[in-house]
């Protein structure tokens, strides 16, 4: 079994070295800067990088494909690629291209995104997002894993034979109980974003395993988003985190999840300091490394780390990359 295949299942990933279970978010505002960052991350010993895909960002899959030709072993993943703006066959073509150049080094994280983005920016109607995601993954998996799609559903009608296969793992973004259960039913993993660890352990994992049991599958892993600030000044960390993460307090899906986790957000949408304290791991390199090990001891499968800059964004990101490489 290859490393990529092992990472499909939580039961196997928990036997891997810690460094293999920690990924680092790369900023996609500039293609050249992202390529340099990915190379630097590999040199520092990071085993996987992740990138979000927003409407104004550089195309993550294009950058990853170029990066794959400039690196040797570092894995790359999207977290997330919104489904509504991009047809699954277009994503399949990009994933096959990447996989031909760097077999086994890509994971596709997919998600519905949010109504303000999908309807307000792209202008697409966002109807039944979880059903849309389930159908999207079915089409994409057939295209990538089988090389043939015969699908006639509510959202997609696809009939095509493709030149070859690429067994790229397909993970899905999840916040609520139904989404985590769905991930257990049909995906190769779940990607959380800004979920308190207690919420993942108490709510998300049971839902994921419930979904897996319903379809008689092995439960896939959860890749947990963990913001990190390399600073010991609590107020500076809270202020920086509010700037980076505060927008999520205004999004309905996140507000619901925060409330269920025990951190209701006030009407103005500002996340309470107690929520920031729970979400953000901060302190010295030694303290952060110790905290990450504690998270795995508590039962997390994987984490993807987002650097929250306090004083010097480039320097702190580099320090975090080297911290990961030394785990």
Confidence band, pLDDT 50/70/90 cuts, at residue 98: very high
Q: Which residue has the higher pLDDT, 186 or 16?
A: 186
DSSP string covering 252-309: HHHHHHHHHTT-PPPTT-PPPHHHHHHH-EES-HHHHHHHHHHHHHHT--EEEEEE--
Mean pLDDT, range 29-43, rounded to an integer? 97
- Looking at residue 3, its pLDDT comes to 40
- Asked if the model's pLDDT at residue 301 lies above 90, the reply is yes
Q: What number does CATH give the domain 3-235+282-325? A: 3.20.20.30
Tell me the whole-structure pTM to 2 decimals.
0.93
Mean pLDDT, range 32-56, rounded to an integer? 96
Residue 44: both structure tokens together:
């520092």
- Looking at residue 43, its pLDDT comes to 98
| Dist CA 249 CA 59 (whole Å) | 26
- Looking at residue 52, its pLDDT comes to 92
Q: Any idea which of 21-35, 60-74, 111-125, 220-234 has the lowest mean pLDDT?
A: 111-125
Sign of the four-CA dihedral 23, 27, 31, 35: negative
- When the pLDDT of each residue in the chain is averaged and rounded to a whole number, the result is 93
- Looking at residue 123, its pLDDT comes to 86
Q: What is the dihedral of CA 134, 139, 142, 144, to 10 degrees?
A: -100
- Asked if the model's pLDDT at residue 128 lies above 70, the reply is yes
Q: Which residue has the higher pLDDT, 122 or 312?
A: 312
Per-residue pLDDT tens digits for 189-212: 999 999 999 999 999 999 999 999
Among the residues of 121-166, which ranges form H helices?
A: 129-141
- Looking at residue 78, its pLDDT comes to 97
For the chain, the structural domain boundaries read 3-235+282-325
| Dist CA 243 CA 258 (whole Å) | 18
- Asked if the model's pLDDT at residue 141 lies above 90, the reply is yes
Per-residue pLDDT tens digits for 54-89: 888 899 999 999 999 999 999 999 999 999 999 999
Residue of 179, 170, 172 whose CA lies nearest to 254: 179
Per-residue pLDDT tens digits for 161-181: 999 999 999 999 999 999 999
For the chain, how are helix, strand and coil distributed in percent, rounded to 5? Answer: 50, 15, 35
- Looking at residue 11, its pLDDT comes to 54
- Asked if the model's pLDDT at residue 2 lies above 70, the reply is no
How many residues are present in the chain?
327
Measure CA of the first residue to CA of the last residue in the chain; give whole Å. Answer: 24
């Amino acid at each position: 079994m290859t490393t990529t295949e092992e990472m499909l299942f939580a039961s196997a990933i928990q036997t891997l070295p810690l460094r293999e279970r920690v990924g680092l978010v790369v900023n996609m505002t500039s293609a050249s800067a992202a390529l340099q960052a990915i190379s630097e991350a590999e040199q520092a010993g990071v085993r996987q990088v992740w990138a979000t895909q927003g409407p104004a960002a550089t195309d993550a899959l294009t950058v990853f494909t170029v990066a794959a030709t400039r690196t040797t072993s570092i894995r790359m993943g999207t977290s997330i690629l919104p489904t509504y703006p991009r047809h699954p066959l277009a994503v399949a073509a990009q994933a096959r291209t990447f996989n031909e150049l760097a077999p086994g080094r890509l994971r596709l994280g997919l998600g519905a995104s949010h109504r303000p983005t999908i309807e307000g920016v792209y202008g697409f109607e966002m109807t039944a997002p979880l059903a849309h995601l389930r159908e999207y993954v079915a089409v994409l998996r057939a295209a990538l894993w089988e090389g043939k799609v015969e699908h006639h559903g509510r959202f997609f009608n696809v009939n095509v034979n493709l030149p070859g296969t690429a067994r790229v793992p397909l993970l899905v973004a999840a916040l609520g109980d139904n989404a985590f259960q769905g991930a257990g039913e049909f995906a190769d993993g779940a990607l959380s974003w800004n979920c308190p660890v207690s919420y993942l352990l108490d709510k998300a994992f049971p839902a994921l395993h419930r979904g897996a049991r319903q379809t008689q599958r092995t439960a896939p892993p959860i890749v947990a988003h963990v913001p990190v600030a390399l600073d010991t000044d609590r107020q500076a960390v809270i202020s920086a985190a509010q700037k980076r993460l505060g927008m999520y307090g205004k999004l309905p899906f996140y507000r619901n999840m925060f409330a269920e986790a025990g951190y209701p957000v006030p009407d103005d949408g500002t996340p309470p300091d107690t929520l920031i304290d729970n979400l953000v791991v901060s302190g010295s390199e030694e303290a952060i490394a110790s905290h990450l090990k504690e998270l795995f001891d508590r039962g997390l499968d994987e984490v993807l780390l987002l650097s929250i800059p306090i004083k010097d964004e480039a320097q702190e990101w580099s320090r975090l990359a080297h911290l990961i490489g030394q785990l």
